[in-house]
Amino acid sequence: APSIVWFRDDLRIDDNPALVAAVSRGEPVIAIYLLDEESDGFRPYGGAARWWLHHSLAALAPDLEGISARLLLRRGPAEQILPALVAETGAGAVFWNRRYGRAEREVDARLKSGLRDDGVEVSSFAASLLYEPWTIATGQGTPYSVFTPFWRACQAAPPPRAPLDAPTTIDGWAGQAGGDDLDEWRLLPTQPDWAGGLRDAWEPGEASAHRLLDEFLHEKLAAYDTERDIPAQGATSGLSPHLRWGEISPNRVLHETEQVRRGAGAAVAAGATRFLTELGWRDFCSHVLFAAPDLATVNWRREFDAFPWPPLNEAALAAWQQGTTGIPIVDAGMRELWRTGTMHNRVRMIVASFLTKNLLIDWRLGEQWFWDTLVDADAASNAFNWQWVAGSGADAAPYFRIFNPELQAKKFDPHGEYIRQNVPEWGTDAYPQPIVDLASSRKAALAAYDVVTRSK
């Protein structure tokens, strides 16, 4: 009876415990990816994510063929498709790597018990985080809401397992089972084709994830700690979409970083510590999402429910989205995002602060725009970071710490290099006037925040 390995947020063959388990079972292997946008509570992917997913699957299929397995594609609710595939192929076992959103966990739990009731072996594995969210807890057994003690507890926990090598060959199932053609899914934009900038900026897939990591560790790690906040510098790894889609595992990243750190000088060591801490933030976002599954819609600090968001100013929202606010660093970030599907972390913080504080637009609208436009759009990291900037989140920056985008630009883009890269008309008459006054909008934000503090 063949084994099914169900690919989800783990589009890779390296360090893939579900795949390794399927292979070790010793029966022919059926690899499947399901496009499930119909199960209850599933959030449809945004446009940039769909673009990435298409290319990531297009890269995974030949990687699997290289080790003699075919990737089967099917579309629909997992609770229909998977049991049907089991019945159709007579599979005796199903393997997958875990996901952490509530709707996904519920589907997985129901599938697991249903299939087991039918006598099918089902096993799930840890593959997408360094530490499973429920394994890290405070002394009281509760989830952490502050990063530093969370990360300290991670360091004190048993270390993540060593990464598993990719199987070199698989006994691919030789039976017949019809699948979809990837193009039928229409994940790519056509009219208009807005993905030109994404194609220039990215190469989805496992091979390029490993190349980026290598390049980062050998060429950039030593300067990472000092330059990671300078958007014009290209000092960061660029790994976030690859991690989001699981083209590379955080275990692999950790392991390779530790190798490079060993015996290296102080700058590399500092870079490594900082880089791994950022990976720790990634874990922390999932830890918080696991405890607060509605993170993308509900204030983590419920007192923020009292925040008096004014009626939506549609024109201001559109100017923010299009990068025509007249605040150069904000416009540079928003245009980088639209063109390339990503934005430097420092600038993400600046544009998010500007939207929620200077424009007084609800963070959820910013979260949605990022969800649609980021290639690394992630249920945990996006929602967590938006709430973090808005002040409503776990371990959040206090609300009254409002970024001044002009000072931020002076500090992190002192020569205007990043701004010029993204806003070529900056400094000419063609560049718009600011849509808000930074000083008075800051005051209005603080006054609105007073309502939250008084409602406590």
Residue owning tokens 């002192």: 414
- Which residues between 391 and 450 bind ligand FAD (CB under 6 A)? none
Q: Which stretch binds ligand FAD (CB under 6 A): 5-13, 152-160, 280-288, 397-405?
A: 280-288
Binding residue per annotation — 377? Answer: yes
Closest to 12 measured CA to CA, from 242, 188, 216, 256: 242
Quick note: the x/- pattern for ligand FAD over 345-364, rule CB under 6 A, is x--xx--x------------
Strands 121-125, 71-75: pairing is unpaired
Q: Which stretch binds ligand FAD (CB under 6 A): 39-47, 239-247, 256-264, 403-411?
A: 239-247
Task: Say what the alpha-carbon torsion angle 291, 294, 299, 302 is, to the nearest 10 degrees.
Answer: -60
Told to check if 240 binds ligand FAD by CB under 6 A, we report: yes
Binding residue per annotation — 145? Answer: no
Number of residues that bind ligand FAD (CB under 6 A): 27
Cβ 29 vs Cβ 5: under 8 Å: yes
Residue-wise DSSP of 149-175? HHHHHHHHSPPPPPPPPPPS---B--S
Binding residue per annotation — 95? Answer: no
Cβ 352 vs Cβ 401: under 8 Å: no
Cβ 25 vs Cβ 31: under 8 Å: no
Which DSSP letter does residue 28 get?
-
Told to check if 285 binds ligand FAD by CB under 6 A, we report: yes
Strands 93-97, 3-7: pairing is parallel
Q: CB of residue 131 vs ligand FAD: minimum separation in angstroms?
A: 14
For ligand FAD, the closer of residues 150 and 173 by Cβ is 150
Q: Which stretch binds ligand FAD (CB under 6 A): 106-114, 122-130, 341-349, 411-419?
A: 341-349
Binding residue per annotation — 376? Answer: yes
- Residues 446 and 161: their CA atoms lie apart, in Å, by 47
Strand order in the sheet with 93-97: 71-75, 29-35, 3-7, 93-97, 121-125
- Residues 276 and 274: their CA atoms lie apart, in Å, by 5
What values do phi and psi take at 52, rounded to 5? -65, -45
Alpha helices in 313-431 (DSSP H): 314-322, 328-340, 345-353, 363-373, 379-390, 405-412, 417-422
The residue from 3, 16, 56, 236 that contacts ligand FAD (CB under 6 A) is 236
Q: CB of residue 65 vs ligand FAD: minimum separation in angstroms?
A: 28
Told to check if 272 binds ligand FAD by CB under 6 A, we report: no
Q: CB of residue 315 vs ligand FAD: minimum separation in angstroms?
A: 22
Told to check if 12 binds ligand FAD by CB under 6 A, we report: no
For ligand FAD, the closer of residues 29 and 377 by Cβ is 377
Cβ 320 vs Cβ 412: under 8 Å: no
The residue from 5, 81, 222, 243 that contacts ligand FAD (CB under 6 A) is 243
Q: CB of residue 275 vs ligand FAD: minimum separation in angstroms?
A: 6
Told to check if 244 binds ligand FAD by CB under 6 A, we report: yes
Q: Which stretch binds ligand FAD (CB under 6 A): 105-113, 156-164, 257-265, 383-391?
A: 383-391
- Which residues between 363 and 382 bind ligand FAD (CB under 6 A)? 370, 374, 376-378, 381-382
Binding residue per annotation — 257? Answer: no
- Which residues between 211 and 230 bind ligand FAD (CB under 6 A)? 228
Q: Which stretch binds ligand FAD (CB under 6 A): 55-63, 173-181, 234-242, 429-437?
A: 234-242
- Residues 36 and 42: their CA atoms lie apart, in Å, by 8
The residue from 195, 209, 239, 402 that contacts ligand FAD (CB under 6 A) is 239
- Residues 250 and 130: their CA atoms lie apart, in Å, by 6
Binding residue per annotation — 318? Answer: no
Binding residue per annotation — 100? Answer: no
In order of 99, 119, 131, the CA distances from 150 in angstroms are 20, 39, 11
For ligand FAD, the closer of residues 129 and 435 by Cβ is 129
- Residues 304 and 452: their CA atoms lie apart, in Å, by 6
Binding residue per annotation — 229? Answer: no
List residues forming the annotated binding site: 224, 236-240, 275, 376-378
List residues forming the annotated binding site for FAD: 224, 236-240, 275, 376-378
- For ligand FAD, the binding residues (CB under 6 A) are 228, 236-240, 243-244, 278-279, 281-282, 285, 345, 348-349, 352, 370, 374, 376-378, 381-382, 385-386, 389
